Structure 1
Amino acid sequence: MKKATSLLLLFLIFSCGIDDDILHTHIELQELYDESELVGLSVAIVDNRKVLYKNSFGHADINKNKRYSSHTIQNIGSISKTFIALAVMKAVEQGKLDLDTNINTYLPFDVIHPLYPEKPITVRHLATHTSGITDGEVYYRSYLFEDPNQLDVSAFPEDYQPIVELIKANVKIDDSVFFENALSASGPWYSQDSFLENAPGEKYEYSNIAAALAAFVVESATGISYESYTHKYIFEPLHMDATGWSFNDVNMQNHATLYYAKDFEVPKYSLVTKADGGLITSNSDFSKYLIEMMRGYQGKGKLLSAASYKEMFRLQSKHSEIKEAMGGIFWDINDNKTIGHTGGDPGIITSCMFDPIKNRGYYLVTNTSEEFNINIERSIEKIWKTLINENPNHK
């Protein structure tokens, strides 16, 4: 049966005009998935016009025997931040926002670095992870279990149980309340530990809270909720019909169950600061977005002007430590000129990248995370290298 399936696959791939490299990639991906402990996996290869290869492996839900497909949806972790980049640049285009203006010009409360009150935090600082804002334990207050009363904390490894208990006690609040509680000097969660000892603009420190705050700045500056703004200016123009920021925005029949392991489901959760890691989408929808990013890099995108795309993908700092750490507006710019981002959260690992020279874009998403199993991380690394054709065994 396996042989017959493989022969059928070869026929289908050849009949669709897929080149030899992608055929070899497909065969290797199947082998790597079969060897892994991943539950579900979906990948795509695109160019600046179309999807060249898209496939899914394994299960979206084991108990329901539901297969993972290109239309399966789940949250994608920190790749969500690249959508903040688009929203920021769109607001700049509209004259609602300036990258180098003090964020307190837009916010309904002040966020001031306690050690450098005279040094304003700007939108550009937030968008390049150089604001001086750090996550710390307060970021755990962003996570919300959908059904905390049914949660068995003892099922988690002992060193994770205090974090689970902390999250279990969280209650749903608006993101504006979260930011004011955490970052305003009068907020009940406020601590100087939420800020680095370095002034804004001096040091790179990856910050989920700062990224989500950038989305809230967009909301405050435009007078439109971030969810509505991204729907209007990103999802709708790209026909990303299966994409949204909450469970109410999407068809939950297509949502994957998330896993730590095949016998350990991740409790259903969401984020108060959803902009930094809570976007729910499918491989099919994200492929449309990735194609647009590639076209935007070439000055041919439809969501932003060529100048705005150029700024978004421009290396933002000449400072060596900052330059090596990030790159563009919420996008990683790598030494080999590729551009991308990764994501990770309970039950989630994602990666996206495009190579402007080769005119290729790549995307990977799985509903399995590596917290309790290092083999998951190793499998993803092999699968990713094979997908982007960097596997040493790839002929």
Structure 2
Amino acid sequence: MKIKFEILYLILLVLNSCASQSKTDTLTLIVDKEADRFLKDTRFNAVSIAVYYKGESYIGHYGELDKNQHNKPTNETLYEIASVTKTMTGYLVACAIEEGKIELNTPIYEILGKDYRNLIYNDEPIRMIHLITHTSGIPLNIGEVSALYQTPNFDNYSKAKEILSTYKKQKLLADLKSLELTEPPGKVYSYSNVAPNLVAHMLEVIYNKPFEELLKTKLFVPAKMKNTFINLDKDKQGFLANGYNEKHQLMPNFKEPINLWGAAGRVKSNSLDMLHYIKWQLNASNSIVKRSHKKLFKDVDNIWLAYFWDVIDDPNGTHIEHHGGIYGSQNWLMIYPEHEYGISIITNSSFPEANQIIKQTANQIIEQLK
């Protein structure tokens, strides 16, 4: 009987191994095919795709980072993930709430101080929930950045980058003291890159620690994201991919350190770490993760806002997603917690149609995995 049991065990082991290998082979074939289709659009240079599907992981790198240089991206290649950064900021807010340090409905002036009592409209103050759902009424961007983005070209992007790199924390906080709200918070969705930076400052006040240190200790280290940063050390700067527009013109990037918190879009990461981030977001036993996915504000139709995540109700099941776009980089992160899969697609090319092309590719991969 013992021999028969051992034989049966070995057979099951082989069968499971074959099934797992078959699943990995299928995943590889699907991603390779869609990546090939993606790069037929010659406006793109390279693309890195990370997929986690029901226990199986796959990372594929395609194209060349710089045209005619034969430098294919690798697991070490860093990309600017832009606004996907906001989901990480949202995670820290969920941490603070789980730890009892703040509540969603806490008026922000209670943390910032009485100098910020101007952030009220008809007795309704801006609260933390308004900041993380883009319903605070705080402006989209600082200074003249939004105006520069109206005419996207290298010169305007360079000017915007200079403003965003040198703008100081105290300047942003001083500007907010004179802001006059034009509508009640919590009523209207209005995307803001300023709000996440204010959230970062509030987290620093709450924890008495730098925002980047909080990201590292509460998220990057436990999630095994060893190569994810806001500000790059000199030895890491060489790993950051150059970014291009549709004409393959080199675009500015945020390789050098910035003065602001970077909570809205300055994180740099690689596909390996994004795979780890997907796995972290799929951990159903993590109460902080579950909280950060909770629907807080309904935008339109089937779209809700959570802790900076977009939550989408669709025929494939509720999923969370976020897009990130900057001068020379575009990416989508889409995660289906109910089905245990997620996908990250990052490219070092940026132009108006790029984000929809990337999302279409992600959806095509997901559709074939179902």
Normalised-by-shorter TM-score class: 0.7 to 0.9
Q: CA deviation at 1:103?
A: 1.2
Q: In 1, distance between residues paired with 2:120 and 2:99?
A: 33
Aligned to 1:66, what secondary structure does the other structure show?
A: coil
Aligned to 1:361, what secondary structure does the other structure show?
A: strand
Q: Given the alignment, which residue of 108, 113, 129 partners 1:103?
A: 108
Q: CA deviation at 1:220?
A: 1.4
The alignment status of 1:347 with 2:325, answered yes or no, reads no
Answer yes or no: is the 8 Å Cα contact 1:47–1:294 preserved in 2.
Answer: no
AA at the equivalent of 1:182? D
The alignment status of 1:278 with 2:258, answered yes or no, reads no
CA distance 1:257–1:315, shift in 2 (3 Å): same
Q: In 2, distance between residues paired with 1:323 and 1:175?
A: 38
TM-score, normalising length from structure 2? Answer: 0.81
CA distance 1:115–1:161, shift in 2 (3 Å): farther
Alignment of 1:71-150 (within 5 A): 71-107=76-112, 110-112=115-117, 116=121, 118-136=123-141, 138=143, 140=145
Q: CA deviation at 1:387?
A: 2.5
AA at the equivalent of 2:347? T
Q: CA deviation at 1:61?
A: 3.3
CA distance 1:259–1:100, shift in 2 (3 Å): same
CA distance 1:100–1:61, shift in 2 (3 Å): same
Alignment of 1:21-100 (within 5 A): 22-47=28-53, 49-51=55-57, 53-62=58-67, 65-100=70-105
Q: In 2, distance between residues paired with 1:341 and 1:159?
A: 22
Gaps of 5+ in 1: 1-13, 144-155, 186-190
Answer yes or no: is the 8 Å Cα contact 2:39–2:45 preserved in 1.
Answer: no
Q: In 2, distance between residues paired with 1:137 and 1:18?
A: 45
CA distance 1:210–1:326, shift in 2 (3 Å): farther
Aligned Cα root-mean-square deviation (Å) = 3.2
Alignment of 1:226-241 (within 5 A): 226-241=211-226
Deviations 1:120-170 (A, max 9, x none): 1111110111112121562629x9xxxxxxxxxxxx997747844753763
TM-score, normalising length from structure 1? Answer: 0.77
Alignment of 1:80-229 (within 5 A): 80-107=85-112, 110-112=115-117, 116=121, 118-136=123-141, 138=143, 140=145, 160=153, 163-164=156-157, 166-167=159-160, 170=163, 173=166, 175-185=168-178, 192=180, 195=181, 197-229=182-214
Deviations 1:239-295 (A, max 9, x none): 211111112287123210111135300123365351100101000011101111011
Answer yes or no: is the 8 Å Cα contact 2:81–2:331 preserved in 1.
Answer: yes
Q: In 2, distance between residues paired with 1:90 and 1:175?
A: 26
Q: In 1, distance between residues paired with 2:71 and 2:128?
A: 43
Q: In 2, distance between residues paired with 1:211 and 1:126?
A: 7
Q: CA deviation at 1:355?
A: 1.5
Answer yes or no: is the 8 Å Cα contact 2:80–2:329 preserved in 1.
Answer: yes
State the aligned residue count: 344
Answer yes or no: is the 8 Å Cα contact 1:128–1:327 preserved in 2.
Answer: yes
The alignment status of 1:331 with 2:309, answered yes or no, reads yes
Answer yes or no: is the 8 Å Cα contact 2:331–2:358 preserved in 1.
Answer: no
Q: In 2, distance between residues paired with 1:382 and 1:172?
A: 32
CA distance 1:245–1:377, shift in 2 (3 Å): closer
Greater displacement, 27-36 / 84-93: 27-36
Aligned to 1:389, what secondary structure does the other structure show?
A: helix
CA distance 1:356–1:161, shift in 2 (3 Å): closer
CA distance 1:125–1:171, shift in 2 (3 Å): closer
